[in-house]
Structure 1
Amino acid sequence: MHLLTLIFGIVLFPKAQTLTCYDCVSGASGTCMDTKECPLQGQQCGAVKVTSYAGDMKVLDVNSKTCVPAEECVEASVNFGISKTSINSKCCNSNLCNTQPAPEPSQSNPNGKMCFYCDGQTCTNTLRCEGNQDYCISTTVSAGNQKMTVKGCASKILCSTKTTQAAGALGTDISCCQGNLCNSASSTSAGLLLLVAPLVSLVTLS
């Protein structure tokens, strides 16, 4: 009898509720009216801000809103020396709650850690990591038919999770390590444009 009750409970139990969230991509400003029912239970409504700089010049400022897995609600950054990207998220757990944009990146100060970075000629330069950049990173990026290795500082969360936000910024063959200057100083030759290229592809969440 208990088994029969359990079977009926499973069959007749209504589908688990998922959230409905705003879903759009915009520039630094703009309204978001499109909505989306989250495909997976447990996803949250999120607003994500991706900001990238080449030197002191802002080259990317994108605000996204969509359904986000809890592990992708992060505040993180990666710094390749001449280019850097920050990812800021704001998530919530009720229908259409992601009305507000994600916050601006916080002001980062050197945190005492150091990593190697590449300047277009060699990868023997040292970089002072900032804020939540607690790991050194080495990765391969592509621009056109060219591939190259870039190095720098990154937040641990970008190394340990396959977040959608990180996928465009970090390239492939990602290797992270903890400890000052642990990402080796092997030389490589590359144009400065290639060092910025991976950042401009980082504009949407899936």
Structure 2
Amino acid sequence: MGSSVAVLWLLAAVMGEDRVSSALSLDCIECNSTTSNNCMGSKKTCQPDQDQCIATYTESNIQNEKFKLFSKECGFLKDCDKTSRMTFNQTFYFKSSKCCNTNECKQDPITFPDKREKLSLTCSYCNEKADKCKSSEQLQCMGDETKCLTYVYTKMENNKNVTHSMAGCANENMCALKKAVSHHGDQGAITIKFECNRASSILSNLLLPAVSGLLFLKLLS
């Protein structure tokens, strides 16, 4: 009798925990769109450790291949309200997220910023079909881009692997990913290099040749 009561108590406790866990789980809308920065979908009950409904918008234009994706799903607080960006002149990658934490809540729309202030920081710029950048052209960074990023990937073109090298500006969140962004395209790509360094100021770029010239003249005198 005692053992039966114990079993019944254990079952009741487990069922009670399941009800509590279910009651505490968040319900989020789950959907995807490749045409707009919003979408509608069905409700999904999140895992107990997923405490946010997260909306993510990704837009890129890499080697003239444009890509857009807006998604809503269950997520984590650590991935909320972050914007990652890298810019190689007209080539760019942008990803931003917004969160809310009530059942079937709605996040504010996410848009790609059309206008950003120019910084007094520059990075070497290139966009070449090569294993390593050869160009020394300078690109003025914008917005919150304070890092210089080198991005190298290999893509299948005409049944051959072709390596592309790009260099430009990026923000801290982009560099903090610690992994390369997948190149979006019909045939995909394998990234082989993704690294960041501190951007240099325009003033230092202007002063360096002048200082070098003065030192050279001093050596000659």
TM-score, with structure 1 as normaliser: 0.67
State the partner residue of 1:151. 167
Counterparts of 1:104 and 1:37, CA distance in 2: 29
1:44 deviates by 1.4
Decide which of 11, 20, 26 is 1:19's aligned counterpart. 26
Q: Are 2:175 and 1:167 equivalent residues in the alignment?
A: no
Counterparts of 1:146 and 1:58, CA distance in 2: 15
Query: What is the DSSP-based 3-state SS (H/G/I as helix, E as strand, rest coil) of the residue aligned with 1:15?
Result: helix
C-alpha contact (below 8 Å) 1:82/1:119 kept by paired residues? no
The letter for the 2-side match of 1:111 is L
Q: Which has the larger radius of gyration?
A: 2
Query: What is the DSSP-based 3-state SS (H/G/I as helix, E as strand, rest coil) of the residue aligned with 1:167?
Result: coil
CA 140–99 in structure 1, closer or farther in 2 if over 3 Å, else same: same
State the partner residue of 1:204. none
Counterparts of 2:76 and 2:182, CA distance in 1: 18
Counterparts of 1:156 and 1:172, CA distance in 2: 20
Query: What is the DSSP-based 3-state SS (H/G/I as helix, E as strand, rest coil) of the residue aligned with 2:21?
Result: coil
State the partner residue of 1:189. none
Unaligned runs of 5+ in 2: 1-9, 185-190, 202-221
C-alpha contact (below 8 Å) 1:48/1:101 kept by paired residues? no
Q: Are 2:75 and 1:68 equivalent residues in the alignment?
A: yes
Query: In angstroms, what is the RMSD of aligned CA positions?
Result: 3.2
State the partner residue of 2:141. 129
CA 139–49 in structure 1, closer or farther in 2 if over 3 Å, else same: same
Query: What is the DSSP-based 3-state SS (H/G/I as helix, E as strand, rest coil) of the residue aligned with 1:23?
Result: strand
Structure number with higher strand proportion: 2
Deviations 1:25-75 (A, max 9, x none): 1133364122333335144112222222469x8933321111232232212
Unaligned runs of 5+ in 1: 1-7, 182-206
CA 21–172 in structure 1, closer or farther in 2 if over 3 Å, else same: farther
The letter for the 2-side match of 1:141 is Y
State the partner residue of 2:200. 180
Structure number with higher helix proportion: 2
Counterparts of 1:87 and 1:177, CA distance in 2: 20
The letter for the 2-side match of 1:72 is D
Counterparts of 2:40 and 2:107, CA distance in 1: 8
Decide which of 90, 93, 97 is 2:101's aligned counterpart. 93
TM-score, with structure 2 as normaliser: 0.63
The letter for the 2-side match of 1:89 is S
1:157 deviates by 0.8
C-alpha contact (below 8 Å) 2:60/2:92 kept by paired residues? yes
CA 106–148 in structure 1, closer or farther in 2 if over 3 Å, else same: closer
1:179 deviates by 3.1
Query: What is the DSSP-based 3-state SS (H/G/I as helix, E as strand, rest coil) of the residue aligned with 2:200?
Result: coil
Q: Are 2:146 and 1:138 equivalent residues in the alignment?
A: no
C-alpha contact (below 8 Å) 2:32/2:39 kept by paired residues? no
Higher alpha-carbon deviation: 98-107 or 117-126: 98-107
CA 133–159 in structure 1, closer or farther in 2 if over 3 Å, else same: same
